[in-house]
Structure 1
Amino acid sequence: MRWKRAWIGGLLATVVFAGSVGACSSGDQGGSDGRGPLTLVASADPTGYTRGVVAEWNRTHPAEKVTLLQFPWAADEARAQMASSLRSGSDRFDVLDLDVAWTGEFAAAGWLAPLDADRFPIKEFLPPVVETATLDGQLYAVPYITNAGMLYYRKDILDRAGESPPRTWAELERLAKTVAPEYGLQGYAGQFLPYEGLTVNATEAVQSAGGSFLSGDGTRVTVDPEKTRKALAFLADGVRDGWIPREALTYKEEESRKAFQDGRLLFLRNWAYVYPLASGEDSKVAGKFDVAPLPGLNESAVGVLGGSNLAINANSPHKASAADLLAYLTSEKVQRRMLTEGGLAPVRADIYEDPSLVSRFPYLPTLRDSVLAAQPRPKSPQYEQVSSAIQAVVHDTLAQRETPEDAVERLTRELNAIVDGG
């Protein structure tokens, strides 16, 4: 998901583009030399970091100025608007800031221009992020922001209670049931509204129980009945027993962040962007919290790789300029600025080992380990349908409208129908 998001629609349009995009390709780029002004489309950025980076590019590239369009906060809405434009063959958007889960689908639809991997510093990126930008061995995007969920917890409260952050679901449940109410707090929340964030939370739970929804290439349903039941029961029982507040069924990233930042939660699952915001002057938990790896069934969780990739619209007339913009946005200078100004997780590996940055952002080692342990979501051409099915089934289960056992049967049936119908 961009930092938080994670997510996808009809494949009716086919766009033909010959060749890969390099740094200075010309002639066949749709304009006289493939250069000119650009439109970058991205989701909303609460830190304002993106606007500053674009402004710097515009100062040094007066003939290739970037217009930044920011879509709604909710990933599903942003994806729908991008897909609608691309499906029509429009060249309105030159550069697309895509959730990592969208890249494979958009590439399969013919909406993205293939890229020359040698043009970009791929070898300097954290290894798992590169896989999210490829399809059938071809690079279609450049990793821009990475992410993996972390467990935010009230360190001051756990210290007072003589407790350590939980490593397993059983420990999380015990602390959420006992310590949280003792200190007037709710126990645990993630992103449980039926949108892409719920797909991520559910996938993390299933993976952490040793299961999966689909094979890595998205061609087979791999739901293990018992492992999936355990994962869904963990979350559903939390809502039933009250240590997951029912209000959390309406939470996306921002609602859950505000609940934690306002001092209402003992534990929160969220992305790295929360750390600097929860450390701000207006935060009631500034200096009182820390992060740890997400707990799993028997050990640390197997998270979902989040973040975003930068891609070029196959119909853009200014692909040479667009490729240069991708290189700029993934440069070491901008990647460092992404962390220091935006609180976002860079894709460059060396940034996580810089002592000065680790001192300033102490969560970096935990984030790096979480990213390296995370798994990407399947690159399914039917991803939108797959995600929608997961959201609907899991939300019904959390809302106590369906038992975990029945949910497993329904989910298996619906996923098989989607994969077989694709």
Structure 2
Amino acid sequence: MTSWPRFRVRPHDRPSWIFFTVGAVVALIIGAAALLDPVSSYTPLPAKCEHSELFVVGGTDISLNYQRRALITEWNKSHRHATLVEVSDSTDLQHSQIKAMEESGGCAYDVLIMDNTWTAQFAESGYLRRLDDLKGLKDFFPNALQTGMWHGDLYAVPFNVDVGLLYRRTDMRTNTARPRSWARLIDSPVIMQLADYEGLTVNALESVWNSGGDGFMGEGGRDEGYLIENVYQPLKEFATRVRGLRPDPREYHERESIDAFSSSTQKGGSPTERLMRNWPYAFSTLAAEPQMQRDGGLRFEVSALPGRTVLGGQNLAVAKRSPHAADAEKLVEFLTEEKSQQELFACGGLAPARYSALRLRPGQAVPENWQIAKCSELDEKKTGLDETNVLDHDQLRELGQAIVTALPNASPRPVTAHYSTFSRTFRGCVVKMINNEDVGARTFARAVRRSLDGQTASC
């Protein structure tokens, strides 16, 4: 007997965000197909959709004060109603669930909030509409905008950007100096995210790039000889260095690393975790925690990572089968306009995708008297917010400075329509190397080369 998943459908005046697992919806479709046609275990959704509102799908809203949801609520005041569907806090699960729905041939979603590495795969597979009519593209950070391109066409625009930042505790009896090189960083008591998920791919790539390798960035990046010299050798050094880190970074996803950083103390005079590599959103998350506040200030500081970093972030795209494509594109424009981007940063703590959101012009250096508006200054309706739970002028300037400094040194992960296959293979090899298992250079290079072409491989 098929067990039917349950979820609640709310009336039209419901809140503009809901939670349910897309996997449950896919399971519902598969279950129905199995009951109706025992021969086929899967049937595509109907080509025509009748839903009258917009559905926006993405990961869990990790912004401070749920600012993504607030933007959707603001849109709903004067536009076609939109509902935000949050499918998971795991990038890997988000990808598999959204991909499953799109592969079904259905049109359940109108706007996709997706990791910027998915553009190539989703555009290549025909899941996305080209965004030919969007204006103001020069105001986006150029390297972030480039992640929405595939074969010269624009399929997605950045919603928020991510760059690796260095967080440092400043409240210890003996404060750790800020490392000026990557080698010094990973020789320090630094918290990294080396659990077997996308964060491991990110941290490993940053180490490759900062150890003299230009892995996946140059011409011939899929040649096995190139991969051995520019990726395998730097990874061997990285694996040796992090193998002795305590606490064990293999236990950390992003949330666990933030918890470890905020709870670190100095016991018996011995050094503890005073440094952390993480994304911009961690700043507002930490700043909102009472134990990280002190005398009107914070117990930590943030700066750009020493050297190169991965350019992460979320992109917005319009689903190819959306029955409301014009309105979906208007929603994308709304979510990326200057005011929305300012609120995403000042009220939500996410790094914006536009220069103007930081009161800068394209290519402009940060002025000496740089001032970024606080959340309550952007919208009079937000003056009732608890001021202890939003960033003040100094904090916004510190975070903004770190982001702007890091962006020119930020590079995208390998651009391939088979990115998820690559990432699983790559980090699987890295896990074995960190665990001191025997991974030969040729075995590594062959597995990674095959994965970049979408072939299943392992070390």
TM band (smaller chain)? 0.7 to 0.9
Match of 1:311 in 2: 317
Matched, 1:268 2:276: yes
Residue pairs, 1:222-371, within 5 angstroms:
223-229=226-232, 231-241=234-244, 243-246=245-248, 248-263=249-264, 265-284=273-292, 287-294=298-305, 300-353=306-359, 355-357=370-372, 359-361=394-396, 362-371=398-407
Q: Judging changes above 3 Å, is the alpha-carbon distance between structure 1 residues 414 and 190 closer, same or farther for their aligned structure 2 residues?
A: same
Contact 1:191 1:256 survives alignment (8 Å): yes
Deviation at 1:408, TM superposition (A): 3.9
Matched, 1:386 2:428: no
Answer with 74-83 or 409-418: which moved more: 409-418
Q: Judging changes above 3 Å, is the alpha-carbon distance between structure 1 residues 397 and 36 closer, same or farther for their aligned structure 2 residues?
A: same
Which has more radius of gyration? Answer: 2
Contact 1:228 1:408 survives alignment (8 Å): no
Match of 1:110 in 2: 126
Match of 1:414 in 2: 447
Amino acid at match of 2:446: R
Match of 2:82 in 1: 66
Match of 2:209 in 1: 207
Q: Judging changes above 3 Å, is the alpha-carbon distance between structure 1 residues 420 and 289 closer, same or farther for their aligned structure 2 residues?
A: closer
Distance in 2, Cα, partners of 1:390 & 1:377: 12
Q: Judging changes above 3 Å, is the alpha-carbon distance between structure 1 residues 320 and 162 closer, same or farther for their aligned structure 2 residues?
A: closer
SS at match of 1:304: strand
Deviation at 1:284, TM superposition (A): 3.8
Contact 1:39 1:93 survives alignment (8 Å): yes
SS at match of 2:71: helix
Amino acid at match of 1:245: P
Q: Judging changes above 3 Å, is the alpha-carbon distance between structure 1 residues 343 and 421 closer, same or farther for their aligned structure 2 residues?
A: closer
**What TM-score do the two structures reach when normalised by structure 2?**
0.74
Distance in 1, Cα, partners of 2:197 & 2:110: 27
Match of 1:95 in 2: 111
**What TM-score do the two structures reach when normalised by structure 1?**
0.80
Contact 1:261 1:285 survives alignment (8 Å): no
Distance in 1, Cα, partners of 2:287 & 2:342: 19
Amino acid at match of 1:275: F
Distance in 2, Cα, partners of 1:278 & 1:289: 9
Deviation at 1:224, TM superposition (A): 4.3
Contact 1:216 1:379 survives alignment (8 Å): no
Amino acid at match of 1:389: T
| Per-residue CA distance 1:113-172 (angstroms, 9 max, x = gap) | 1111x4232111111111100011100011111110111111233xx5375300113422
Q: Where in structure 2 are there 5+ consecutive unaligned residues?
A: 1-47, 266-272, 361-369, 373-392
Answer with 46-55 or 276-285: which moved more: 276-285
Deviation at 1:201, TM superposition (A): 0.8
Amino acid at match of 1:53: L
Q: Where in structure 1 are there 5+ consecutive unaligned residues?
A: 1-29, 177-186, 295-299
Matched, 1:79 2:95: yes
Distance in 2, Cα, partners of 1:217 & 1:381: 18
| Per-residue CA distance 1:68-103 (angstroms, 9 max, x = gap) | 100111100011000000111110011000101111
